[in-house]
């Protein structure tokens, strides 16, 4: 077998190198005896007895070969073979140096006191597997493990680490060392049926020796195999090609290349190395030729030319040799040589003992423990076996090509403890079933805007993707939770990132705010103009007939009403929030109470016409201003209670309009707010009622009708405002309230003062006392008194 033959060549190369070294074992020549066990434990025991007994019949406790000077055994390649040989060799204290995979069971120095392991430990191999899975995002993998303690220990370590990294086992199958066709078909069927596209295989050659043939019989299509160099899937083949394993990923311990060994192998030739009994047969198998001159042989194969060498074998086939076991064999020979070199100076008779075939095996143990096989230097700590080193692995890619060309190409390396991982994906050939890097996941990744939601009774790798809720985003793949956007930001439509919110308030710069502000200022100026007209014509009968002092008070309050609407426009502040509603309430209360006083005065003027009537005492200005003050005081008390208990405050509303921050004033206590509005409505309703009762007054002095219309407009505006206020949001509420203030104030101004200004400015001939007396002769005494006031 190609690879096992290279093991023998490594032994031969090391022995030749030592014999040519004048400083190592001077005057002593190393030799070797080769015994084959065909991977069978029974033959391993028999080979150990043959080695101890010598040539001829196997006689325990007797050695019939006087020429044998062997002092140590190098082997076997697998744990089971080593354990089988140890049962015999330990009886004679013969040191056994194993070069196969490190096995914790052989560390038992009570049961195996003379076994030394050169194989690298695999205590971090599961971490290397994890880093490969994380790199390619294989979260859902299947496991094929050798059905023994070693496989179970590896599974426990791997499963724990997978759970820590959010990885899951899709399927786990134990592979018995002996498996029938039916059981093998069922096992591979379960692997193929699994939803995982990546299958990890772990086990040594002897425990998985039938797995390669099993996978050839039942081909696992659509699966990528990941394994280690410990499983030799071509162990029972003779250069047969395995395209089914093309693309397989393998982990192998990083080993230093033996200097000159590759050239040594490539220069091998049966003519130049006639003592090599294996080389001729191996040569005939490689080059399909013959060395024999038997009749009939020429019909099938030509004679082998003498100038061929291993250099004529495709380079990739030579490079396929795994260096890990070869390096261990090379180090094992040097370990024995250095132990002998250290031992001989202690006793002068050792050289003569070797010549007399004395058994020196048991004397080597102390020196084998105290020699570092890597540096070949003395180690005073006298460790058992090799020194522990930081594990590192090559990542290899098995490639199979036409023309019986196969190779293992290094595509990366991993240092598990240092968490250093490098790989060249462009150098990897994946299995033919995959046109790109394979994926192996239970659930498709959740993209940005979604979060993972666990499914009941399912592993963590199997999940559903749920959209982020309102106001939250996820800006990464497979997010566990959605993130809340900051207050000044909001999620975009896809909910994968936050956008800055637009700040909304009724600004002076925008058309609506500018229009309302201009309207407020214009109406305020118009009111001042009307006030100026009334002041200029204060001695005219029509101004006197409208109770000059109450008219002045009403005009001033209306002007302030128009101006107080400006407090609602612009960026709200804490001060404007406190002032705007209370100022509006008090000023409007003064205006409405002034109208109420005017209405009552007009009604009383025409009801108290009889001489000596008690109603005459209520016609003076003192009573009117007392009414205005009392009504305003009640409103001010409500405002003080409002500010003292639950005053308005500035707030940012981020929920009403997506993508916007509404800067607004929260009215605090809505109950008191509605009480304030309700109190003004009550005054307006009282004014409307009183004015309505005076609708039949004389035509020339018909101010009651104007007051009625003004209160009708006022009530209509505010009754319409309330439902609109409840159904609006943001700056629309502010605009509605400003509009209601301006409309209601303008309605009062126009209904009450427009007809009078018209008469004063355009019909001055009607603004005489004679006309008013003539029209109101039936109420002459009281009316003349009222007009003069």
Question: 250 lies in a domain?
Answer: yes
C-alpha dist (Å) from residue 654 to 191, 483, 488, 503, 637 = 54, 16, 8, 10, 34
| CA trace torsion 387, 388, 394, 396 (10° rounding) | 80
Confidence of residue 725 (pLDDT cuts 50, 70, 90): confident
Question: What local confidence, expressed as pLDDT, does residue 785 receive?
Answer: 43
Instruction: Indicate if the pLDDT at residue 134 is higher than 90.
Output: yes
Instruction: Indicate if the pLDDT at residue 451 is higher than 60.
Output: yes
Instruction: Indicate if the pLDDT at residue 784 is higher than 60.
Output: no
The phi, psi pair for 651, rounded to 5°, reads -145, 160
Residue 588 contacts residue 621 (beta carbons within 8 Å): no
C-alpha to C-alpha distance for 246 and 241, rounded to whole angstroms: 10
Residues 734 and 771 in one domain: yes
Higher pLDDT, 109 or 610: 109
Question: What local confidence, expressed as pLDDT, does residue 223 receive?
Answer: 93
Question: What local confidence, expressed as pLDDT, does residue 771 receive?
Answer: 57
Question: What local confidence, expressed as pLDDT, does residue 605 receive?
Answer: 62
Q: How many domains does the chain have?
A: 4
Residues 133 and 152 in one domain: yes
User: What's the angle, vertex CA 479, arms to CA 474 and CA 484, rounded to 5?
Assistant: 40
Question: 297 lies in a domain?
Answer: no
Residues 192 and 112 in one domain: no
**Average pLDDT in the 363-382 region?**
60
Instruction: Indicate if the pLDDT at residue 39 is higher than 50.
Output: yes
Instruction: Indicate if the pLDDT at residue 740 is higher than 60.
Output: yes
Residue 466 contacts residue 479 (beta carbons within 8 Å): no
**Average pLDDT in the 317-344 region?**
79
Question: 386 lies in a domain?
Answer: no
Higher pLDDT, 367 or 57: 367
Instruction: Indicate if the pLDDT at residue 378 is higher than 50.
Output: no
C-alpha to C-alpha distance for 211 and 218, rounded to whole angstroms: 10
Residues 130 and 110 in one domain: no
- Write the CB contacts of 512 (distance below 8 Å, at least 6 apart in sequence): 506, 731, 735
Q: How many CA atoms lie within 13 A of 610 on its CB side?
A: 5
Q: How many CA atoms lie within 13 A of 784 on its CB side?
A: 8
**Alpha helices (H) in 374-499, listed in sequence order:** none
- Counting beta carbons within 10 angstroms of the beta carbon of residue 222, is it exposed (0 to 12), middle (13 to 18) or buried (19 or more)? exposed
C-alpha to C-alpha distance for 175 and 197, rounded to whole angstroms: 19
Q: State percent of the chain over pLDDT 90.
A: 27
Residues 130 and 103 in one domain: no
Question: What local confidence, expressed as pLDDT, does residue 694 receive?
Answer: 66
Residue 220 contacts residue 245 (beta carbons within 8 Å): no
Residue 661 contacts residue 503 (beta carbons within 8 Å): yes
- DSSP assignment letter at 478: T
- Write the CB contacts of 346 (distance below 8 Å, at least 6 apart in sequence): none
How confident is the model over 641-670, as pLDDT tens digits?
999 888 888 888 887 777 888 888 888 888
Question: What local confidence, expressed as pLDDT, does residue 541 receive?
Answer: 78
Mean pLDDT taken over the chain: 81
Give the residues across from 144 on adjacent strands: 173, 201
Residues 30 and 148 in one domain: no
Question: What local confidence, expressed as pLDDT, does residue 202 receive?
Answer: 93
Residue 390 contacts residue 415 (beta carbons within 8 Å): yes
């004033």: which residue's tokens?
Answer: 665
Q: Which of 141-150, 297-306, 776-785 has the highest mean pLDDT?
A: 141-150
Tell whether omega for the bond before 496 is within 30 degrees of 0, i.e. cis. no
Question: 711 lies in a domain?
Answer: yes
Question: Could you give the 3-state DSSP secondary structure of residue 412?
Answer: strand
Higher pLDDT, 719 or 192: 192
Q: State percent of the chain over pLDDT 70.
A: 82
Question: 667 lies in a domain?
Answer: no
C-alpha to C-alpha distance for 721 and 704, rounded to whole angstroms: 26
Query: 407: domain CATH number?
Result: 3.40.50.2300
Residues 113 and 130 in one domain: no
Confidence of residue 547 (pLDDT cuts 50, 70, 90): confident
Confidence of residue 548 (pLDDT cuts 50, 70, 90): confident
C-alpha to C-alpha distance for 465 and 443, rounded to whole angstroms: 9
Question: What local confidence, expressed as pLDDT, does residue 320 receive?
Answer: 43
Instruction: Indicate if the pLDDT at residue 742 is higher than 60.
Output: yes
Residues 133 and 249 in one domain: yes
The number of residues making up the chain comes to 789
Instruction: Indicate if the pLDDT at residue 67 is higher than 80.
Output: no
Question: What local confidence, expressed as pLDDT, does residue 376 receive?
Answer: 45
By C-alpha distance, which of 109, 57, 54, 105 is closest to 81?
105
Higher pLDDT, 463 or 295: 463
Question: 200 lies in a domain?
Answer: yes
Give Cα 357 to chain centroid, integer Å. 70
Residues 186 and 238 in one domain: yes
Higher pLDDT, 193 or 603: 193
Give the residues across from 483 on adjacent strands: 473
Question: Could you give the 3-state DSSP secondary structure of residue 39?
Answer: coil
Instruction: Indicate if the pLDDT at residue 178 is higher than 50.
Output: yes
Query: Domain range holding 586?
Result: 511-633+695-788
Q: How many CA atoms lie within 13 A of 84 on its CB side?
A: 19
Query: What are the structure tokens assigned to 506, written together?
Result: 């009724």
Helix/strand/coil (H/E/C) assignment for every residue in 495-540: CCCEEECEEECCCCCCHHHHHHHHHHHHHHHHHHHHHHHHHHCCCC
Give Cα 194 to chain centroid, integer Å. 27
Question: What local confidence, expressed as pLDDT, does residue 293 receive?
Answer: 62
**Average pLDDT in the 42-51 region?**
88
How confident is the model over 380-436, as pLDDT tens digits?
334 444 444 578 999 999 888 776 667 788 999 999 988 899 999 999 999 988 989
Q: How many CA atoms lie within 13 A of 528 on its CB side?
A: 8
Question: What local confidence, expressed as pLDDT, does residue 129 receive?
Answer: 95
Count of beta carbons in the 10 Å neighbourhood of residue 486: 11
Instruction: Indicate if the pLDDT at residue 374 is higher than 50.
Output: no
Residues 218 and 156 in one domain: yes
Question: 610 lies in a domain?
Answer: yes
Question: 732 lies in a domain?
Answer: yes
Residues 732 and 608 in one domain: yes
Query: 536: domain CATH number?
Result: 1.20.1070
How confident is the model over 463-498, as pLDDT tens digits?
999 999 988 999 898 898 999 988 888 898 889 999
**Average pLDDT in the 220-233 region?**
86
Residues 144 and 243 in one domain: yes
C-alpha dist (Å) from residue 93 to 96, 151, 346, 747 = 9, 31, 20, 121
How confident is the model over 87-125, as pLDDT tens digits?
999 988 999 999 888 888 888 888 999 999 888 788 899
Query: What are the structure tokens assigned to 85, written together?
Result: 């040989």
């Amino acid at each position: 077998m190609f690879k096992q033959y290279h093991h023998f060549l490594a032994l031969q190369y090391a022995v030749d190198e030592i014999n040519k070294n004048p400083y190592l074992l001077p005057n002593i020549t190393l030799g070797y005896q080769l015994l084959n066990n065909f991977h069978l434990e029974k033959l391993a025991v028999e080979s150990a007895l043959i080695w101890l007994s010598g040539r001829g019949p196997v006689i325990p406790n007797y050695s019939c070969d006087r020429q044998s000077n062997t002092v140590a055994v190098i082997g076997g390649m697998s744990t089971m073979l080593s354990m089988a040989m140890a049962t015999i060799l330990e009886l004679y204290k013969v040191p056994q140096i194993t070069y196969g995979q490190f096995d914790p069971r052989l560390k038992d120095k009570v049961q195996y006191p003379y076994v030394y392991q050169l194989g690298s430990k695999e205590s971090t191999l599961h971490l290397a597997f994890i880093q490969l899975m994380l790199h390619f995002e294989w979260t859902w993998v299947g496991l094929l493990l050798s059905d023994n303690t070693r496989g179970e220990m590896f599974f426990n370590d791997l499963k724990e680490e997978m759970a820590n990294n959010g990885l899951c086992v899709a399927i786990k199958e134990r592979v018995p060392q002996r498996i029938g066709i039916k059981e093998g078909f069922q096992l591979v069927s379960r692997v193929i049926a699994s939803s995982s596209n990546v299958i990890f295989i772990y086990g040594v050659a002897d425990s998985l020796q039938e797995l390669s043939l099993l996978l050839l019989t039942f081909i696992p299509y659509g699966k990528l195999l990941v394994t280690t160099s410990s499983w030799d899937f071509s162990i029972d083949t003779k250069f047969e090609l395995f395209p089914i394993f093309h693309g397989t990923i393998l982990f192998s311990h990083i080993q230093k290349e033996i200097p000159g060994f590759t050239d040594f192998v490539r220069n091998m030739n049966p003519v130049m190395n006639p003592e090599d009994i294996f080389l001729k047969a191996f040569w005939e198998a490689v080059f399909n030729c013959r060395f024999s001159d038997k009749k009939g042989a020429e019909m099938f194969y030509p004679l082998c030319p003498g100038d061929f060498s291993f250099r004529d074998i495709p380079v990739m086939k030579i490079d396929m040799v795994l260096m890990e076991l070869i390096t261990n064999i090379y180090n094992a020979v040097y370990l024995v040589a250095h132990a002998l070199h250290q031992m001989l100076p202690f006793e002068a008779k050792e050289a003569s003992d070797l010549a007399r075939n004395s058994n020196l095996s048991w004397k080597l143990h102390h020196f084998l423990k105290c020699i570092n096989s890597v540096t070949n230097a003395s180690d005073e700590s006298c460790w058992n076996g090799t020194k522990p080193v930081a594990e590192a692995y090559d990542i290899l890619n098995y490639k199979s090509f036409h023309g019986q060309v196969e190779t293992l190409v290094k595509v990366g390396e991993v240092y598990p403890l240092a968490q250093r991982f490098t790989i060249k994906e462009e150098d990897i050939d994946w299995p033919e079933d995959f046109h790109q890097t394979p994926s192996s996941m239970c659930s498709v990744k959740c993209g940005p805007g979604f979060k993972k939601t666990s499914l009941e009774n399912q592993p963590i790798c199997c999940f559903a993707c749920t959209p982020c809720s309102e106001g939250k985003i996820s800006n990464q793949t497979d997010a566990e939770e959605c993130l809340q956007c900051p207050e000044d930001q909001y999620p975009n439509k896809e909910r994968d990132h936050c956008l800055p919110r637009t700040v909304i308030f009724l600004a002076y710069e925008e058309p609506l705010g500018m229009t309302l502000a201009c309207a407020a200022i214009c109406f305020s100026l118009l009111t001042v103009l009307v006030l100026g007209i009334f002041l200029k014509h204060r001695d005219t009968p029509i101004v006197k007939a409208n109770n000059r002092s109450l008219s002045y008070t009403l005009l001033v309050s209306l002007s302030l009403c128009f101006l107080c609407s400006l407090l609602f426009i612009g960026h709200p502040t804490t001060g404007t929030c406190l002032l705007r509603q209370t100022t509006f309430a008090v000023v409007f209360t003064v205006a409405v109470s002034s109208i109420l006083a005017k209405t009552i005065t007009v009604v009383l003027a025409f009801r108290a016409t009889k001489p000596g009537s008690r109603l005459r005492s209520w016609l003076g200005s003192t009573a009117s201003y007392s009414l205005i003050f009392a009504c305003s005081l009640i409103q001010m008390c409500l405002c003080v209670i409002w500010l003292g208990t639950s005053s308005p405050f500035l707030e940012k509303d981020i929920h009403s309009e997506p993508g916007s921050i509404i800067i607004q004033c929260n009215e605090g206590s809505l109950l008191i707010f509605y009480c304030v509005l309700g109190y003004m409505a009550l005054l307006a309703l009282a004014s409307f009622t009183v004015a309505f009762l005076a609708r039949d007054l004389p035509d020339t002095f018909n101010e009651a009708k104007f007051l009625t219309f003004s209160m009708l407009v006022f009530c209509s505006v505010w009754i319409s405002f309330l439902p609109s206020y409840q159904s609006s949001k943001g700056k629309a509420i502010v605009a509605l309230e400003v509009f209601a203030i301006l409309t209601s104030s303008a309605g009062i101004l126009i209904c009450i003062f427009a007809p009078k200004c018209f008469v004063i400015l355009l019909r001055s001939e009607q603004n005489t006392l004679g006309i008013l007396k003539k029209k109101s002769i039936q109420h002459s005494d009281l009316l003349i008194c009222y007009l003069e006031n």
